[in-house]
């Protein structure tokens, strides 16, 4: 069973049989999944596995060939989702010739969010000390945080964050994950992509992708138990080597281990081991 079946009732995002081509090349071929509300779901996979394409589809900026995507019960990209869904893209989207505060003021007006939101998001993203500086004079990490602050304007219910921690030092990375957990505790749903496997343990659930297909869709513990390892990177490697005809628990994991390996898991050889805010 895929958790697309299990979690649809409480899901913030439901993707069904999604087919997407980019430059005429199929990237996603029949992807189905569900992201439960109020959780942090990690979207992990190697470069080029289709994470950004999936995220673009979910926020409604990607042309899709077929399939359905519902976000908060509405079709992806619907007008009614504009303030409810935030998208943080890999490239920070800030105006270099505006200060941090001016950038946020501009995005707030576009969104129609309350004026008080500016101070709130500056504080949340710890940008107070640079709020008066031109965005063009900030470091890459600081610019990324301005994008994140913009994404938090209007208190979105769903945050789609494409590699938000890329290029950050370990301290900032930990702080950002703390913020993500606070947001989830307050009820937001976060879909966070990364190709850094050690970030997986900070998520409530994982979607492991490879070549546009879902290898696993489960809790971190479920993925680890199923693959018989305590390392997510190793689990990923084991899943790559695990073909559909042989989806048996690994190394003594219980037979009913709650791992939901996608139907289209790669049937390779049986290997035993093995980072703009647009709204």
Ligand X SMILES: Nc1ncnc2c1ncn2[C@@H]1O[C@H](COP(=O)(O)OP(=O)(O)OP(=O)(O)O)[C@@H](O)[C@H]1O
Size of the site for ligand X (CB under 6 A): 12
40-44 vs 205-210, strand pairing mode: parallel
Q: Name the segment binding ligand X (CB under 6 A); options: 9-17, 47-55, 231-239, 244-252.
A: 47-55
Contact between 45 and ligand X by CB under 6 A: the answer reads yes
Of 48 and 167, the one with the shorter C-beta distance to ligand X is 48
Of 48 and 187, the one with the shorter C-beta distance to ligand X is 48
Residue 249 is given by DSSP the state: P
Q: Measuring CA to CA, which residue among 22, 24, 12 is closest to residue 58?
A: 12
Q: Minimal distance in Å, beta carbon 209 to ligand X?
A: 7
Q: Name the segment binding ligand X (CB under 6 A); options: 40-48, 112-120, 177-185, 213-221.
A: 40-48
Contact between 47 and ligand X by CB under 6 A: the answer reads yes
C-beta neighbour count of 67 within 10 angstroms:
17
82, 195, 264, 266: residue in contact with ligand X (rule CB under 6 A): 195
Q: Minimal distance in Å, beta carbon 150 to ligand X?
A: 20
Q: Name the segment binding ligand X (CB under 6 A); options: 48-56, 104-112, 167-175, 248-256.
A: 48-56
Q: Name the H helices within the chain.
A: 3-6, 51-59, 100-111, 117-124, 140-152, 170-185, 220-227, 232-240
C-alpha to C-alpha distances, 167 to 93, 173, 183, 275, nearest whole angstrom: 16, 9, 22, 8
12, 13, 14, 27: residue in contact with ligand X (rule CB under 6 A): 27
Q: Minimal distance in Å, beta carbon 45 to ligand X?
A: 6
C-beta neighbour count of 151 within 10 angstroms:
26
Q: Which two tokens stand for residue 234?
A: 């190793």
Contact between 52 and ligand X by CB under 6 A: the answer reads yes
87 DSSP β-pair partners: 160, 278
Q: Which residues of the shown chain bind ligand X in the complex (CB under 6 A)? A: 22-23, 27, 45, 47-53, 195
């Amino acid at each position: 069973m895929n958790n697309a079946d299990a979690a649809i009732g409480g899901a913030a995002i439901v993707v069904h049989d999604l087919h997407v081509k980019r430059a005429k090349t199929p990237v996603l071929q029949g992807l189905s999944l569900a992201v439960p509300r109020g959780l942090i779901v990690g979207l992990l996979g190697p470069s080029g596995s289709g994470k950004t394409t999936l995220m673009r589809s979910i926020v409604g900026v990607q042309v899709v060939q077929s399939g359905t995507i519902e976000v908060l019960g509405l079709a992806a990209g619907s007008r009614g989702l504009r303030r409810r869904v935030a998208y943080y893209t890999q490239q920070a989207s800030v105006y270099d010739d505006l200060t941090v505060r001016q950038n946020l003021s501009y995005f707030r007006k576009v969104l129609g969010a309350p004026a008080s939101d500016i101070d709130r998001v500056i504080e949340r993203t710890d940008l107070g000390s640079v709020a008066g500086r031109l965005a063009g004079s900030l470091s890459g990490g600081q610019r990324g945080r301005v994008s994140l602050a913009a994404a938090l304007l209007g208190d979105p219910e769903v945050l789609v964050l494409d590699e938000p921690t890329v290029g950050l030092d370990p301290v900032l990375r930990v702080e950002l994950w703390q913020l993500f957990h606070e947001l989830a505790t307050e009820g937001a749903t976060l879909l966070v992509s990364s190709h850094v496997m050690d970030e997986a343990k900070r998520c409530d659930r994982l979607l492991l992708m490879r070549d546009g297909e879902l290898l696993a869709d489960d809790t971190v513990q479920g993925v680890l138990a199923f693959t018989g390892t305590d390392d997510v990177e190793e689990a990923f490697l084991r899943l790559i080597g695990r073909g559909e005809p042989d989806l048996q628990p690994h190394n003594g994991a219980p037979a009913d281990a709650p791992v939901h390996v996608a139907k289209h898991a790669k049937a390779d050889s049986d290997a035993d081991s093995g980072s703009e805010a647009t709204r």
